[in-house]
Structures are given as structure tokens and as C-alpha cells.
Structure 1
Amino acid sequence: MPQAGGLNLKTLFVPGPYDNLALPLKGALGPNANLSSLDYGTLSDDTSQLAARSEALVLGPGAEAACELASEDGEIQFVQFTGCRQSSLAVNALQANGLTVANAAPVIAPFVAEHTVSLIHAALALAGQRARPISELVIGIVGLGNVGIEVARHFAEVGASIVYHDIRTVVQGYATEVGARRHSLDRMLLNADVVSVHVSDTPHTPGVISDRELKLMKSGAVLVNTSLPEALDESDVAQALASGKLGAVALGVMETYPDSQPGPLSGQDKVITELSDATDREVVLKAVAALVAHNLKRVEAGDPPRGLIDPVGFPGVGDPSFWSSRLAPRQP
């Protein structure tokens, strides 16, 4: 018999390898929740049976690959990622099988945006532009999603001009709210004093900012990345710094190298590194747990969850974002 006041939706939680979400999630769901946990790193013969009996799948940071447990012939109808870095290809596959998919971007984005804004100001100071009025700056946002819009909103409120590039058609209200103008990637790079990267995990993400894109940027511009480390070609960025093309770089994420060898941007005078995972903070963990509990209850009631992930489509000819350096044929 279902227990009154509890979550009856049969939910399987797969924590990541360094996941601290389990206790906050259990607290948010309450003692009567129909919740099972699975260590994805030590799969057993019971794994498939446990997944087959579940109706919802919650994946901790680092456990995104476990989305394969939501197979076509199972009972799982809802997949909740507790981070923001899930693969678009994995999400598209889940959605193609009729599953509802959400992530925790609505509650994580403000914290990542706060970190990004701090890095932008630090990078501007390192580039010798501390005294320059913000109202004179053009802030370029690569990816106007949950984090990008928060960063854009902050700088729009203090008078900066906002331009952005996104392969998706952004919800119009977002761009209008901050007065953001949509450009191709090339045009945005040519005009921006600050380029802030907020891309998701898609086939186009690796090296989206590489040698060609760096050569298009304004001389002395600053580059900030708090999304995915592979979005930047770090060797090309190091060369742009050495040549004086870039004024400064600020990173919230970096590539890792074999045997803990330093990367091309390690120890650079004009590079700020403040590596931070928002989901490690207690206040964020509690917010994520509350969101997950809220979403499970909404799905159980037949309502859409917060953080619902829209299918990612790629633009066609005629869309302004088609004429980017990554989506259109171009000369080197």
C-alpha cells in the first residue's frame, strides 16, 4: 500500500563517484519516498531488474552515463540529471524514446553565473581594463542558456551592450529582456570586448573557440570559460596569449592531462583559474535536492518538471546562427 504523504513514484537514484547529494535528496523527499539507490560503479545482476521496476531515474553528477538504464522496454518515463553537463546526444536518445528529461540548471545557473561575473571582472583587471566603464563594454555570450542569460542580465543592468551566439533559437523573451542582439559566432567575436563561453555538451562543443576564432577576436579582449573545458583549444589559447592577441583568460574549468601533467595554460601570468563545481556547495546541494523532489512530485501528478530540456535542433540556411564558423562552410 502507498504510504500517505510520501512520493509513490518508484525512483532509482544513481549517485556520482564524488556525489554528496544522497543525504539532502533523502531529506527533501521524506522518509516515505519510494526511493532506491544504485552504485553504478559496481553493477550487479540485480541492476537491470531494479531499473526495470523503476518509473523515474535520478542521476548524480558524474553518473550521467547511467542514463542507459532508461531502456526502451523499461518502466522509466522520467530522467532527472542533477547537474547541467549531460550529453545532448544522450538526451536526444532519451527523448526519442518518449522520455521526459530535465536537469538542475534552474537552481545551479545563478551560482555559476555569479562565479562567471567574478571571473570576468578579475580578467578585465588583469588585462589592464579595471578603470574602463562597464557601459563601454560589449559582452559576448556564447550560449544564451540558463547561465548565459544570468550573466547577460547582470551586465545589461550596469549598462554593457550584450551580443550572443547560440545554435538554438533562444526564447525571445530572454533576449529581449536584456537587449541582447543575436549574431553569428564570427560577428560576435569581432565585436566583443569580453567573450564568455556557456556551451552544453554537443558534437559541436570541442574546440568551438580555437585558432581561427581567436584570430577574429578584438586585440586585448578577454576570454572566460565556466562551461566545459573542451570548448577551448587550450594550446591555441596559450598562443593567443603569447602573441598579445588576448588580454587575459579566466577559467572555471580546465582540461586534465595524463599523469597530472600541467596543461598549456597552467602557470600563465595572464590566466586566472578558479576551478569550482557549484554542486559541491551545501546551499546548492540543498537547492538541487529540493528541485529534484519538486520535479518528481510534479511528474507523478502529470505536470511538467522545472528544468525541462528542449530537444536540440540545428539551424538551417537563413537562420542567423547558421552562418557561424562552426555550422557553415568557410575558408580557413
Structure 2
Amino acid sequence: MASAPRKVLITTRLFDDAAARLLASRGLSVVPSGLPPDALDTHMPDADLHALLDGASGWIVGQRAVTRDILAAHPGLTVIARRGVGYDRVDVAAARDLGRVVTIAAGANDPAVADHTLALMLAVLRRLRASAAAIAAGDWRVVSGFDLTGKTVGLVGLGRIGRAVARRLAGFDVRVLATTRTPDPSLPGIAYVSLPRLLAESDVVSLHAPLVPETRHLIDAAALAGMKRGAVLVNTSRGGLVDDAALLAALEAGHLAGAGLDVFEAEADPALQGVAQRLAARSDVEATAHAAGSSREGLERGNLIAAQCVLAVLEGAALPDGCLIADGRQGTHAGQGG
């Protein structure tokens, strides 16, 4: 008698049919979360999640925290795959200790996030929000903004997305500064400087660093005070990199000209929801809800890579490049790309 197919739970939003068909074509049973299309898996009650994970070999996860308790309760859960590149909500140490594999969809959303970063830079500098609001109120006077061309742009972090942003900036005749542990000689025209110098000299500061204990509140009140007066801050990386309350204070004081924010501390700390709302309500802030990587193409790439990672682990094949974060079967642990 044939054994039942191995089960893969999908709790990430907008998991497309092509990725699901790939899993099914290799004999896996694809189990959806049952949540409404617009609901995050963070909304799923614990009891429902545990019922769905019962007997699962793989889990393609969205924003849900993957804790030691969840992993311990499901010993047959072999691989936890993130559709994105962040894994700060996954207890990687627990996964490694319990013999599980954790993967990310490396490279899937690089083009989308880089495009979104440039969109935020331009929208803040050209005051698109203020202009649209004026027209909506019947005021057709010109709202004057600033060029990106000729400015100094500072990139904090130069991983995959930081490099993609640098390549896009090449068409704007800007001076590019970067602070990174790993300079990239393949990118011409970048000056590598310390973070204090980058903050002091940049007209636009764009964050592309992972969120780890050492980078939490990398941009705090002191760092914001060290930025050039009238500069713009863009964050499409992780909310915890910026002290949002300090950023709000810097904007209210007129020290910064604006901010482009795709991520907020409130995503991980509901107590800061009020700060996020006050930031998003400002006419000098362009805000999106962690949507930079969620272009249609970016989501499709991420779904496909996550599915490929699950298949590779369950079939004993090689993982796609850059996707392995932890492999408890071998006691190895790889770092996060940017």
C-alpha cells in the first residue's frame, strides 16, 4: 500500500498556482492555510496552526513567528522556508538544535526592493504626496521639490539589494557613499566611508542592512542628529534599524526634509503603532506597508524559490545559491545576505 504524500503547509499570502503545481508535481500534498487572501498568518490562532502543521514535512511561512515551542511540537517538520529574505522571526538556534533546515528566497525580491527604494527617494524629494494633496484640495500651485541628480546618496549596507540600488543610481549622476564590511570592487564610483561620515555628507541615506542585535536602532537620535540638515532617510530594510520615535522628532523639528519608509518598528511592536501612524500621516513622509518586495514578479520569484528549497531539502538535493540559513542535520549555520 502506497504511503500518503508528504505534506507542505503554505501560510504565506499570495502563493501562486505555478509554485503550488511544482510541489504537487513532485508528489507533495500542498495544504493552504485557509486564511482569507488579505490575512497574514500572524492572525491564525495557535490551535489552528498546530492542527495544520500536524504531519507536515515542510512549511512555507509568511510573517508568523517560528518558535522553539512550535518546532518541538512537530518533530516531523523538516524544512521551514521563508518566501522573503528576512528570518528575524524564525528561532534559528532552535531549528539548528532540533535538526531542522531554515531557508530564505535569496535574490527573489532584489529588483523589486531596489526599484521601490528609488521610487521612495524620488517621491520624497519631488514632494509627490504634497502635490497630489494640494490638487485634491483644489490648489494648483506648483509644489517645488528637489532633484536627485547631483546629490550625495549614502548606502548603509551593500548586500544584494544595496548593490542593486547602487546600479540604478548610476543613471542619476549622483555621488555614492557606502558603509559596509565587504566593499564590492565590481561597482565603480563608490566611496567607502564610516557611518558617521556617510550620515554627515549624504543628502539621501538609504538603509540596506540586516536586523541583528548589533544593528537595532542603528539610526537613533544621535545618528539622526549627525545627518545633514535637510537630508532624507529611506528605509526599505527592517523597521528595527531606525528608532521611529526619534525619526518622528527629527522630522517635527525640521532637521530632516522627509523620509521614505516601507518598514516600521510597529510591525514587531504594536505599542509603537501610534508612532507609525503619526509618521505615515506627515506630508513629508512616503509610507508603504512592507510592500517593497511584493511586486507581482517579486512574489512569483519568491514563491518559486521557496518551493524549490522545500523540494531540495525533502529530496536531498542541493539548495539554490544563498538560500540556506541553518541546517541542523549537519550542524551548519549560514549568514543572511542583504
User: TM-score, normalization: structure 2?
Assistant: 0.72
Q: Residue deviations 1:182-230, cap 9 Å, x none?
A: 4332222122221011233322343221110011111211111122223
Tell whether the 8 Å contact from 1:24 to 1:285 is kept in structure 2 after alignment. Answer: no
Q: Which residue of 1 aligns with 2:124?
A: 123
Q: Tell me which moved more, 255-264 or 184-193.
A: 255-264
Give the distance between the partners of 2:235 and 2:272, measured in 1 at CA: 24
- Offset at residue 105 of structure 1 (A): 3.7
| Matched letter for residue 90 of structure 1 | D
CA distance in 1, matches of 2:174, 2:309: 36
Corresponding position: 1:35 with 2:29: yes
- Aligned residue identity for 1:130: F
Change (3 A) 1:43 1:280: farther
String of CA shifts for 1:255-292, please: whole Å, max 9, x gaps: 44559646442432322223352565443332222222
- Alpha carbons 2:64, 2:89 under 8 Å: kept: no
SS in 2 for 1:265: helix
| 2:11 corresponds to 1:15 | yes
Identity between Structure 1 and Structure 2 (%): 24
Measured in 2, the distance between the counterparts of 1:276 and 1:142 equals 19
Partner of residue 247 from structure 2, selected from 234, 237, 250: 237
Q: 1:223 aligns with which of 233, 239, 242?
A: 233
Residue equivalent to 1:147 = 161
Distance between the aligned counterparts of 2:247 and 2:8, measured in 1? 42
CA deviation after TM superposition for structure 1 residue 106, in Å: 0.8
User: How far off its partner does 1:80 sit?
Assistant: 1.6
- Alignment of 1:58 with 2:60, yes or no, is yes
User: 1:253 aligned to 260, 263, 268, which one?
Assistant: 263
> Is the alpha carbon distance of 1:101 and 1:190 closer, same or farther for their aligned partners in structure 2, counting shifts above 3 Å?
same
Q: Which digits, 9 at most, give the CA deviation of each residue in 1:98-119, with x for residues without a partner?
A: 6543212411121111111111
Partner residue in 2 for 1:323: none
Contact 1:88 1:201 in 2 (8 A): no
Would you say the 8 A contact 1:235–1:264 is kept in 2? no
Matches within 5 A, 1:171-250: 174=184, 176-250=186-260
C-alpha separation between the residues in 2 aligned to 1:312 and 1:187?
27
Structure 2 stretches lacking a partner, 5+ long: 34-43, 128-142, 326-333
Corresponding residue of 1:277: 291
Pick which of 268-277 and 218-227 moved more: 268-277
1:20–1:280 Cα contact (<8 Å) kept? no
Q: Does 1:303 align with 2:300?
A: no
Residues 65 and 90 in structure 2, CA contact (< 8 A), matched pair in contact too: no
Question: RMSD of the alignment, in Å?
Answer: 3.6
Q: Secondary structure at the match of 2:110?
A: helix
Cα shift at 1:141: 1.5
Distance in 1 separating the partners of 2:154 and 2:297? 29
* 1:139 Cα offset (Å): 1.6
| Matched-pair contact (CA < 8 Å) for 2:109–2:294 | no
Q: By how many angstroms is 1:248 displaced? A: 1.7
- Asked if the contact 2:63–2:89 (Cα under 8 Å) also holds between the matched residues in 1, the reply is no
SS at match of 2:279: coil
| Residue 106, structure 1, aligned to residue 73, structure 2 | no
* Higher RCO structure (Cα 8 Å, ≥6 apart): 2
| Corresponding letter in the other structure for 2:170 | A
In structure 1, distance between residues paired with 2:279 and 2:74 = 46
Aligned to 1:328: none
Q: Find the aligned partners of 1:273 and 1:42 in 2 and give their Cα distance.
A: 31
Give the whole-Å Cα distance in 1 for the aligned partners of 2:220 and 2:144. Answer: 24
The answer to whether the 8 Å contact 1:194/1:223 transfers is yes
